[in-house]
Amino acid sequence: MSFQPVFAQFWEKVKESIENHTYAKLTLAKTIGDTDLKNIYVRPVLNNDVLSMSITARYKTEEVESFHSLEETFFVLAPYMNNPFLTALLFTTENDISFKLNKKRVGSIVEQAPTFKNASDVILEMKEKGI
């Protein structure tokens, strides 16, 4: 069974958290083995009141940042699941939502108490501006 339908469900939660102004941050972590790519951070940015997502890929020796629409971000991140990442963590003000792949590469979504009390500054700015 492919984990991709479960990752798509997880991505719906990412979009909901942005729409509901509760998004704090998103991180891809827990790599398979010793990889050059250590983690990926996804943060919202506003450019002329248009939301885009900053994707920062942190390697052993450098960081590479790129900007994408919310829809594009899903397609940029999806190939990194299972190669090399096993976990995607969505932090919101309501709860922490984890997408995890087990040893058999079956995806699951787990919700826990929130780590962050406040949404991302950009999300709060969007809420103020009614975006």
Average pLDDT, the chain: 94
Other C-beta atoms closer than 10 Å to the C-beta of 98 total 18
Which among 123, 125, 117, 99 is positioned nearest to 19, based on CA atoms? 123
Across residues 40-68, what is the average pLDDT? 95
pLDDT at site 3: 84
Q: Mark out the alpha helices in the chain (DSSP H runs).
A: 4-19, 70-77, 121-129
Task: Kindly report, residue by residue over 55-113, the tens digit of the pLDDT.
Answer: 999 999 999 999 999 999 999 999 999 989 999 999 999 999 999 999 899 999 999 99
Q: How far is CA 50 from CA 27, 42, 44, 46, 94, in A?
A: 22, 16, 10, 5, 24
Enter the pTM of the model. 0.92
